[in-house]
Amino acid sequence: MNESALDRTARALDLIPFVLENPGLSIEELAQEFATSPKEITKDLNLLFVCGLPGYTPLELIDLSFESGSVSVIEPQSLDRPRKLNRREVISLILGLEGLATLRAEGDQLRSEILRLRDSLITTIETANLQIATHEEFLPPSPFLQVIEEAISGRTDLDLEYLSGNRDERSERRVTPAQLYTENGFIYLIGYCFKSGADRTFRLDRIVKCARSSDPIAAPNTPPNDSQPGTYKALAEEPILEIAHRAKNFLEENAAVLTILSTSPDFTLAQISILDPEWLIRSALGLGGAVSVRSPATLKSQIRDRAQETLDRYNSNSV
Amino acid sequence: MSDPKTERLLNLTMALLATKRYLTKIEIFQSVAGYKGTPEAMERMFERDKDDLRSLGIEIEVGNLDNYFEDEQGYRIIPDSYGLDIGEITPRELALLSVAAHSWSEGVLSKSSQSALRKLRSLGISIDTEDLAMGWARFENPQPSFDQLWQGLEETKTLQFKYSSTTLALRTVDAYGLTLWRGFWYLVGFDHERNEIRVFKLIRIIDQVTTIGKSGSYAIPSDFDISNYVTNFTEEKKHQAKLLIRKDKAQILRSEGIVAPHDDQWDQITLSYEYQEAFLRKLLWFGPDVQVLEPTALIDAVIGRLTEVLS
């Protein structure tokens, strides 16, 4: 990748004050810090080595040492201070802080500390038009955010009561929580699930109960009983779907597992890779004619049977 | 071929930062390494370099040199306008900022907050994560539309993108603001075709966003407040539904309403919903384990949808 002279200039200007305060890092470590390759950092350093103040004698040049494997700045000349934060940088930090604040309930001490810090950052930029605004409802609402967040930071386990969608069952699980993340409007928790004996992802709106475990748990000595997708027999044939344009939500929500084969004015033809056919059968009823299975035929008839069975409830006077 | 240019930009920045007085163009051309060619060529080079440094947020101050040559202008960078000055930052605050900087999963927000953090870590403040009880969270920053929209917004350039709503159409929009609400990013802006302010969900923007106007092709109204538009989506009326659910089934529904036993096979549940479409999908997920009793409109919709599947 060829990067622009401006990107390199910006990074070189930031590299000197950073190394000045964080001396002794290797080129690889610096590359990681600056999200670039060791090759680019080496180029930056070689370039900085020949830059300096008018006169350009050894006394006026930037002096670095980086041959022994660790980088340090001997003479920064006039580049000893980090550049001021630009607007994007400040806004990104403000938004990140607001996100963290929403993980904590109103009145929480850490939350107020985070919001105070945000307020002091806001004073450093012109806010007449911040252009990017978050909302009190930054994340989808969940009553369990704080308890989960506290369990992650306090390194305690959680006892969850969880609803599994595909199998329509409720299960109790002990989980060592690792991280929260957002995707497509949902919040997910990743953690080690003792019941499954592996890392699992849980959707927060499917958690019915959630509490910090008080008793320590021993590692499971029984083989894990996996009741989440993953143990299903993979489908012999990946289903091909006709997705009408009005089913745009379906396309969005499942973008990661859909491979678009073709698009026409009426529908998108896509292949879906799923582990559990039950998921597709259940989804298809709700989507009506907007998403239909073209193949395989067995799946097609399973969906029809399920639809017929459901419809029968309304035809017979069973109430 | 970017290296001679980078080298010149670095030398120019260093020289302008180091000088205590204004440097004239002649002095710059004579003393700063990298300027060569005819006077006109150097002049053009210098003009471009100034613009480039400004685009990096480096302010070059222009001033009159002295009273002998009143029209002779000089240039310098004031160290205090160049350098980071964020007031007092404690090691604990730096730790909080570090957690915040790492909370974006990708995209421009991640890139910008991490470069901010690098600058803050160049201040010589130690970072104290010792008693910071804060877990890690990652927030989504959609790519690449977010970057392109933010750019358009900053430069107030009119934007064009394909948007998937009831139809897939090309929309021409003056961006007024971006916001994150309940886990989704939205753009609020003036829609040229509709001739009014509209809300766009970023996830529905298809392909690339292109800019069609010049910088400053519109002005954001001074009384524009993005929160007025975002709260608009929430004012949906709640509807009540009464359902039969098979015992031990439809677990996800059970936590959302009031459940009472009906007979030995079925329970009855009363619950409320906002959007019929979303609710319908939720109910049909459970197939023959759920039967709608009320309202009639919902029964009709269920029957209609199932008939559609069978047709």
- Residue B139: is its pLDDT beyond 90? no
Q: Provide CATH 1.10.10 ranges for chain A.
A: 5-75
Write down which residue in B234, B268, B296 finishes a domain.
B234
User: Token pair 């802006």 is at which residue?
Assistant: B189
> Amino acid identity, residue B251?
Q
Chain A: give the shortest CA distance to residue B114, in Å.
8
CA separation (Å) from A99 to A85, A129, A170, B137?
20, 20, 30, 9
Give the pLDDT confidence score for residue A235 in this predicted structure.
61
In this complex, how many residue pairs, one in chain A and one in chain B, have their CB atoms less than 8 Å apart?
A: 342
φ/ψ region of A131 (left if φ > 0, alpha if ψ in -120 to 50, else beta) reads left
Residue of B nearest to A101 (CA): B100
CA separation (Å) from B193 to B153, B169, B170, B196, B198?
19, 11, 10, 8, 11
Asked whether residue B154 falls in the same domain as residue B228, the answer is yes
Asked whether residue B221 falls in the same domain as residue B166, the answer is yes
Contact A89 B140 (CB under 8 A): no
Write down which residue in B203, B234, B265 finishes a domain.
B234
Q: List phi, psi (to 5°) of A189.
A: -115, 130
- How many Cβ atoms from other residues are within 10 Å of residue A243's Cβ? 22
CB contact A301 to B (< 8 Å): no
| H-state helical runs in chain A | 5-21, 27-33, 38-49, 87-102, 109-122, 145-154, 248-253, 277-287, 297-315
User: Token pair 């029984």 is at which residue?
Assistant: A222
> Amino acid identity, residue B295?
P
Query: Do A122 and A176 meet the contact criterion of CB atoms below 8 Å apart?
Result: no
Question: Tens place of pLDDT for every residue, chain A, 319 residues?
Answer: 456 889 999 999 999 999 999 999 999 999 999 999 999 999 999 999 999 999 999 999 999 998 788 999 999 999 999 999 988 899 999 989 988 888 888 888 889 999 999 988 888 777 656 677 766 677 887 889 889 988 888 888 999 988 877 777 788 999 999 888 888 778 999 999 998 888 989 999 889 889 998 765 544 444 444 444 434 445 668 889 998 887 877 887 788 788 888 888 888 899 888 777 888 888 888 888 888 898 888 888 999 999 999 999 888 654 4
Six-digit token pair at A154?
A: 């306090």
Six-digit token pair at B71?
A: 């029209």
* From A85-89, B55-59, B137-141, B241-245, the region with the lowest mean pLDDT: B137-141
| H-state helical runs in A243-296 | 248-253, 277-287
Reported as type and span, the H/E element at residue B23 is: strand B23-24
Whether the upstream peptide bond of residue A296 has omega within 30° of 0, thus cis, is yes
Choose which CATH entry (1.10.10, 1.10.357, 3.30.1050, 2.40.160) describes domain A5-75.
Answer: 1.10.10
pLDDT tens digits along B158-201: 999 998 776 788 999 999 999 888 888 889 999 999 999 999 98
Dist CA B77 CA B212 (whole Å): 34
Asked whether residue B173 falls in the same domain as residue B219, the answer is yes
CATH number at residue B214: 2.30.30
Query: Do B251 and A170 meet the contact criterion of CB atoms below 8 Å apart?
Result: yes
Contact B153 A131 (CB under 8 A): yes
Q: Give me the residues of A, 31-70, that contact B with CB < 8 A.
A: 33-35, 43, 47-48, 50-56
Strand positions, DSSP E, A146-282:
158-164, 169-183, 186-193, 198-203, 207-212, 240-244, 258-263, 267-272
Q: What is the dihedral of CA B140, B144, B150, B156, to 10 degrees?
A: -160
Which structural domain range is residue B270 located in?
239-310
Percent of chain B with pLDDT over 90: 48
CB contact A182 to B (< 8 Å): yes
Query: Do A133 and B137 meet the contact criterion of CB atoms below 8 Å apart?
Result: no
Q: Residue A222: beta bridge partners?
A: none
Residue of A nearest to B267 (CA): A319
Six-digit token pair at A30?
A: 């610096």
Asked whether residue B18 falls in the same domain as residue B55, the answer is yes
Q: Provide CATH 2.30.30 ranges for chain A.
A: 145-212
Instruction: Give the closest residue to B226 by CA, choosing from B202, B193, B195, B190.
Output: B190
Q: How many domains does chain B have?
A: 4
Asked whether residue B34 falls in the same domain as residue B73, the answer is yes
Instruction: Give the closest residue to A70 by CA, choosing from A27, A112, A105.
Output: A27
Asked whether residue B165 falls in the same domain as residue B215, the answer is yes
What is this structure's pTM? 0.76
CB contact A314 to B (< 8 Å): yes
Give the pLDDT confidence score for residue B72 in this predicted structure.
77
Asked whether residue B158 falls in the same domain as residue B113, the answer is no
CB contact B197 to A (< 8 Å): no
pLDDT tens digits along B25-46: 999 999 999 999 999 999 999 9
- Residue B234: is its pLDDT beyond 90? no
Dist CA A241 CA A258 (whole Å): 9
- The CATH architecture to which A145-212 belongs is Roll (2.30)
Partner residue opposite A9 with nearest CB, options B10, B150, B183:
B10
Dist CA B176 CA B190 (whole Å): 7
Partner residue opposite A93 with nearest CB, options B81, B97, B124:
B97
CATH number at residue B279: 3.30.70
**Cα B296 vs. chain centroid, distance in angstroms?**
43
**Cα A5 vs. chain centroid, distance in angstroms?**
31
**Reported confidence tier of residue B293, pLDDT bands at 50, 70, 90:** very high
**A52 interaction partners in chain B (CB closer than 8 Å):** 11, 14
